[in-house]
C-alpha cells in the first residue's frame, strides 16, 4: 500500500493549487484526477497556446488570488500564456444608477485578470511537475474511502492508498463529500448562465461590466485583443432556446438584448451552465477536508467562486504550516477545525451577499427596484466605504 501525508482528490484549479501549496511545507502529496490537462500545456514550450482559440470557461481572478498564486509560482506562467487585466468594474440597471469601481480607489494597478480556467489549472500542474514530493495519479478515479480516526484508506481504481489527510477538491458534485457522508444545504437558482465567446468590434477593454435587465443580468468579461466573454443569465428555458440557435441567430439576439456599448460582435462559441447554490454542512469530518466547489458552490454573478477556493487553500496552508512549526500534528482535529472556522464564515458571508444582490435584482418592479437603483446611485458616491467594499471583493 502506498503511503502519503495528503491525498488530494481533484486536480482542478483548486486541487492542483492545494498540492503545490502543501508540497511547499514538505508534505508528501498524492493527487488524483479523472482527467489530465492537455499534454502540450504541460510540455516545456509555451508557444502552443498561440495555436489555440480561447476556451469558453474563464474566471475573473481577483488581485488577492493573483498574489497567492504568484507566491506559489503558478501565476507567472498564466501571464506568459495569456490573461486580460481589468482596471474598472461597472454595474448598472438604469443609466442614472451606474456605479463604477476603479483600481485607483485602492491604489492598485488593476483589479484582477480574466483567465481561461484550463490555463490556470495547467500552470498549477506544471508547478506540480517541479515538486519531487508530489505524485500524480491521472487518469484515475476514486472508488471508495475507508475513514479511521487517524487515517483514511482510499481505493483509487485497483490501488489502495493510505493517507493521514484526505482532501476533497473534486468540484460541486464531490464524491469525497458523498463518500464521507457530509450533507449540504442549498437550492437551484432557477436560472442558468450562458457563456459566449465573441470577437468584438472594440479593442481590448480595461473594464468588466454587469448590466441588470429585468432581473436577469448580462455581463462582459474582456479577453486579450478583440475578444470577450459574455455571460447571459436567464431562466433555464430561455437559455436552452438561446443555446439551440445558430451562432448568427444568437449574435442578433445579443445585439438586441445587450447594452449598446458592446458594438458589433461575432459569436465564436457558446455553452450553458445551470446555477446552484450548495454549501457543505461541514468542511472537516475526521481526517477528510473539503475545499473549493466541493465545499461551496456560489452564484457566479460576482465572479467569486474560485477566488473563495484559493482563500480555502491559503487558509489550509497557513494552519498546517503553523501546526508543523509548533509541533502539533497537522492532521489533528484541533488544527483542521481552525481551517473550518476561518473559512466557513467568510464563504457564508460572500454567498449570502451574492444571494441578496441576486434576489434584490430579480424583483422586476416596485419599491425594491427603486431601492436597488438608489443603492447603486449611492454606491457611486460612498467614498471610503466603496473603497473597502472593492478591497474585499478583490480579496485584499
Ligand atoms: C458560468 C460560471 C462562471 C464562473 N465565473 C467565475 C469567475 O469569474 N470567477 C470565479 O472566481 N469563479 C467563477 N466560477 C466558479 C468557478 O468556475 C469554480 O468555483 C471553480 O471551477 C471550482 O474549482 P474547483 O477546482 O474547486 O472544482 P472543479 O473546477 O470542478 O474541479 C474539480 C476537479 O476534480 C476532478 N474530479 C471530479 N471527480 C473526481 C473523481 N471522482 N476522482 C478524481 N477526480 C475527480 C475533475 O476532473 C476536476 O479536474 C464560475 C462558474 C460558472 C458555472
Residue 7 has pLDDT above 70, yes or no: yes
Atom of ligand 1 nearest to the CA of 114: 8
Residue 391 has pLDDT above 60, yes or no: yes
Residue 376 has pLDDT above 60, yes or no: no
Domains of the chain: 2-84+113-186+277-360 (3.50.50.60), 189-275+364-393 (3.30.9.10)
Handedness of CA 218, 235, 347, 231 (dihedral sign): negative
Cβ < 6 Å from ligand 1: which residues? 9-15, 32-35, 59-60, 117, 141-142, 169-171, 175, 193, 195, 273, 292-293, 300, 303-307, 309
Q: From CA 77, how far away is CA 73, in angstroms rounded? A: 8
Structure-block grid coordinates of residue 285: 469530518
* Cα-to-centroid distance, 13 and ligand 1 (Å): 7
* Cα-to-centroid distance, 329 and ligand 1 (Å): 30
pLDDT at residue number 189: 76
Structure-block grid coordinates of residue 116: 481561461
pLDDT tens digits, one per residue of 96-142: 678 888 999 889 999 999 999 999 999 999 999 999 999 999 999 99
Nearest CA to ligand 1 atom 52: 300
pLDDT tens digits, one per residue of 137-179: 999 999 999 999 999 999 999 999 999 999 999 999 999 999 9
* Cα-to-centroid distance, 293 and ligand 1 (Å): 6
* Cα-to-centroid distance, 167 and ligand 1 (Å): 15
Atom of ligand 1 nearest to the CA of 175: 41
pLDDT at residue number 369: 59
Question: What does each C-alpha distance from 35 to 28, 38, 140, 154 come to in angstroms?
Answer: 21, 9, 8, 18
Q: Which of 26-40, 75-89, 280-294, 350-364 has the lowest mean pLDDT?
A: 350-364
Atom of ligand 1 nearest to the CA of 60: 8
* Cα-to-centroid distance, 196 and ligand 1 (Å): 18
Atom of ligand 1 nearest to the CA of 169: 26
Share of the chain above pLDDT 70, in %: 91
Structure-block grid coordinates of residue 86: 481589468
* Cα-to-centroid distance, 5 and ligand 1 (Å): 24
Structure-block grid coordinates of residue 163: 493517507
Amino acid at each position: 500500500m502506498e503511503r502519503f501525508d495528503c491525498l488530494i482528490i481533484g486536480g482542478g484549479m483548486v486541487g492542483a493549487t492545494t498540492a503545490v501549496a502543501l508540497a511547499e511545507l514538505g508534505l508528501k502529496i498524492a493527487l488524483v484526477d479523472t482527467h489530465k490537462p492537455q499534454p502540450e500545456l504541460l510540455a516545456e514550450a509555451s508557444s502552443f497556446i498561440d495555436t489555440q482559440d480561447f476556451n469558453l470557461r474563464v474566471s475573473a481572478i481577483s488581485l488577492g488570488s493573483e498574489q497567492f498564486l504568484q507566491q506559489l509560482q503558478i501565476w507567472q506562467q498564466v501571464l506568459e500564456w495569456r490573461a486580460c487585466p481589468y482596471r474598472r468594474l461597472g454595474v448598472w440597471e438604469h443609466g442614472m444608477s451606474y456605479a463604477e469601481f476603479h483600481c485607483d480607489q485602492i491604489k492598485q494597478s488593476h483589479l484582477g485578470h480574466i483567465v481561461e480556467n484550463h490555463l490556470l489549472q495547467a500552470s498549477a500542474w506544471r508547478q506540480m511537475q517541479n515538486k519531487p514530493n508530489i505524485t500524480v495519479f491521472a487518469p484515475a478515479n476514486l472508488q471508495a474511502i475507508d475513514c479511521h480516526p487517524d487515517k483514511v484508506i482510499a481505493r483509487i481504481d485497483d490501488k489502495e492508498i493510505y493517507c493521514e489527510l484526505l482532501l476533497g477538491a473534486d468540484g460541486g458534485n464531490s464524491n469525497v463529500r458523498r463518500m464521507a457522508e457530509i450533507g449540504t444545504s442549498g437550492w437551484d437558482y432557477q436560472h442558468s448562465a450562458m457563456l459566449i465567446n465573441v470577437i468584438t468590434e472594440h479593442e481590448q477593454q480595461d473594464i468588466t461590466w454587469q448590466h441588470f435587465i429585468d432581473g436577469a443580468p448580462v455581463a462582459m468579461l474582456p479577453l486579450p485583443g478583440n475578444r470577450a466573454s459574455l455571460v447571459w443569465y436567464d431562466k433555464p428555458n430561455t437559455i436552452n432556446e438561446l443555446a439551440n440557435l445558430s451562432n448568427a441567430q444568437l449574435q442578433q439576439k445579443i445585439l438586441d438584448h445587450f447594452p449598446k456599448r458592446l458594438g458589433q460582435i461575432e459569436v465564436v462559441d457558446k455553452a450553458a451552465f445551470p446555477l446552484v447554490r450548495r454549501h457543505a454542512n461541514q468542511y472537516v469530518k475526521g481526517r477528510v477536508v473539503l475545499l473549493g466547489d466541493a465545499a461551496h458552490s456560489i452564484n457566479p454573478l460576482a465572479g467569486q467562486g474560485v477566488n473563495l477556493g484559493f482563500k480555502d487553500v491559503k487558509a489550509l496552508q497557513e494552519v498546517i504550516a503553523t501546526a508543523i512549526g509548533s509541533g502539533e500534528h497537522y492532521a489533528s482535529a484541533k488544527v483542521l477545525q481552525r481551517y473550518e472556522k476561518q473559512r466557513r464564515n467568510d464563504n457564508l458571508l460572500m454567498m449570502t451577499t451574492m444571494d441578496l444582490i441576486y434576489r434584490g435584482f430579480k424583483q422586476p418592479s416596485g419599491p425594491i427596484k427603486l431601492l436597488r437603483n438608489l443603492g447603486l446611485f449611492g454606491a457611486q458616491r460612498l467614498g471610503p466605504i466603496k473603497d473597502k467594499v472593492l478591497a474585499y471583493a478583490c480579496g485584499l
